[in-house]
Amino acid sequence: MGAISPYGEGAALLWSGLRAGLSAIRPLRHARAEEVRVKVAAQVPDSFDPAARFDERILPQLDRTSQFALLAAREAVAQSGLDFASAGLGRRTAVVIGTGVGGENTQSEQARRLYGENATRLHPLTIVRVMPNAPASQISIALGAHGPTFGIVSACASSNHAIAQAAMLIRAGMADVAIAGGTEACITYGALRAWEAMRVLADDTCRPFSVNRRGLVLGEGAGVFVLEAMDHAYARGATPLAELAGLGMTADAGDIVAPDPAGGAAAMAQALADAGLVPEEIDYINAHGTGTPANDPTETMAIHRVFGPHARRLAVSSTKSMHGHALGASGALELVAVLGALAEGVVPPTANLDQPDPACDLDYVPNTARDMPVRAALSNSFAFGGLNAVLALKRA
């Protein structure tokens, strides 16, 4: 696994921050911050310097969202120990990367030049920066991965959809290895204004499942993972971080923004069935948990429907309370938390949960991480558009 997040560069920094219950939500850093009502975000630290991370010949091609994806992919591949040039492995390697909005920083800047400055020419690489498949394509080029390569765009479910699609490519025999995850860099003036207009942004911090929650907090970053067929991994002596055991994907086919507990419940049930797990074998759920009035009780209802009496024994937490809502990258950042919980037997907390909502009546691991064995876990992503993607993982 590899990541860049509001905690900095590296999956280890992300996991250590979440395990410690440390919030990375800070005052908004933006040139036009005084013009917007929202005052907080979870942003990658200013210490991130693209010029120090990318060759000057490649950097002009890269929107911030592709920069994040490439950095996370480099870390994941280095950890995996795979060499894509050896034995033709690159021909059997897929790349699937999710993003909610694509090259938003480039889009915003070039629109400003076009409409604000009346520019008659835009940057010649605008299209290759903006296109939502750019992160996947750039990773493919950097690694020499010649297998199926494409982007996934399904709002806040993009990462989990990408990982599920990558797993299915391996199951189908179209690849032995897949590089999969999600990336997002969405904190622009236009995006902030658009999210403000929906009236779902918190003005102070993110409080999932708390009665005084005020909405979501935007975040950014990327998480990328190396998926590998089990026999392929063991044949080369690799030690897996976990087993991606089950996948569940559904659509509410209802409202474009209002969640339906039936859709989320169906996706969780599918993931359990695909993994060959019964509800009682799940110890932890990393919840979608956005901190909005509608999402949190709806997800709680969905968990009750699937798990019945066992729902009361589950540890459920929303790490968005700490790393923010990175839209298409959220599921990937949250998968780092799930892998940490499985490996170390530590469930990260739901931060800022100071006043429990009676409509949210599960064990949300409030404010402090919990030491407990985690045999198997679910990671939930429920998106605008009524799109649900759930991953089931087991300890390796």
pLDDT per residue over 75-119, tens digit each?
A: 999 999 999 988 899 999 999 999 999 999 999 999 999 999 999
| Res. 7: pLDDT tops 90 | yes
Among the listed residues 156, 186, 206, 360, the single catalytic one is 156
Annotated catalytic residue 156 = yes
One of 186, 206, 325, 360 is an active-site residue; which one? 325
Any idea what the CATH number is for the domain that residue 192 is in?
A: 3.40.47.10
Q: Which domain covers residue 272, as residue numbers?
A: 242-395
Structure confidence at residue 178 as a pLDDT band (50, 70, 90): very high
Number of structural domains in the chain = 2
Q: Quote the pLDDT of residue 224.
A: 99
Q: What is the full DSSP assignment across 224-263?
A: EEEEE-HHHHHHTT---SEEEEEEEEEE--S-SSS--HHH
Average pLDDT over residues 174-202: 97
* DSSP structural state of residue 348: P
Distance from C-alpha of 7 to C-alpha of 290, rounded to nearest angstrom? 19
For residues 203 and 246, membership in a common domain is answered with no
Asked if residue 208 lies in contact with residue 353, where contact means CB atoms within 8 angstroms, the answer is yes
According to the model, what pLDDT value does residue 86 have? 82
Percent of the chain with pLDDT over 90: 98
Are 183 and 97 in contact by the 8 Å Cβ rule? The answer is: yes
Task: For 146-185, give one letter per residue: b (16+ CB within 10 A) or e.
Answer: bbbbebbbbbbbbbbbbbbbbbbbbeeeebbbbbbbbbbb
Q: What is the pLDDT of residues 268-287, one digit of tens each?
A: 999 999 999 999 999 999 99
Known catalytic membership, residue 325: yes
For the chain, the residue count is 396
User: CB under 8 Å to 224, separation ≥6 — which residues?
Assistant: 1, 2, 3, 69, 72, 73, 75, 76, 97, 139, 179, 180, 181, 183, 332
Please tell me the predicted confidence (pLDDT) of residue 242: 98
pLDDT of residue 31: 96
Note the pLDDT of residue 87: 80
Which of 189, 210, 235 lies at the terminal end of a domain, its last residue? 235
Region 188-203: mean pLDDT is 96
Do 34 and 176 have their domain in common? yes
Domain boundary among 205, 235, 265: 235
- Looking at the fold, whether 12 and 72 belong to one and the same domain comes out as yes
Does 157 share its domain with 200? yes
Residue 296 in contact with residue 289, Cβ under 8 Å?
yes
Q: In what order do the strands lie in the sheet with 149-152?
A: 8-9, 2-5, 221-228, 177-184, 93-98, 149-152
| Amino acid 303: pLDDT | 98
For 348-374, the pLDDT digits (tens) are 999 999 999 999 999 999 999 999 999
Rounded average pLDDT over 48-58: 97
Mean pLDDT score of the chain = 97
Residue-level pLDDT at 302: 98
Q: What count of other Cβ atoms lies within 10 Å of the Cβ of residue 190?
A: 13
If asked whether residues 177 and 219 sit together in one domain, one would say: yes
pLDDT in tens, 257-271: 999 999 999 999 999
Residue 66 reports pLDDT greater than 90: yes
Same domain, 23 and 165: yes
What integer is the mean pLDDT of 193-220? 97
pLDDT at residue 3 is higher than 90: yes
pLDDT at 13: 98
- Mean pLDDT, residues 142-158: 98
Q: Please report which confidence band the pLDDT of residue 5 belongs to, taking 50, 70 and 90 as the band edges.
A: very high
Do 205 and 251 lie in one domain? The reply is: no
Q: Is the pLDDT of residue 390 over 90?
A: yes
- Mean pLDDT for 318-339 is 98
Q: Do both 80 and 200 map to the same domain?
A: yes
Considering 186, 288, 323, 360, which one is annotated as catalytic?
288
Residue 317, pLDDT score: 98
Domain boundary among 181, 203, 235: 235
Same domain, 227 and 334: no
Q: Is 304 a catalytic residue?
A: no
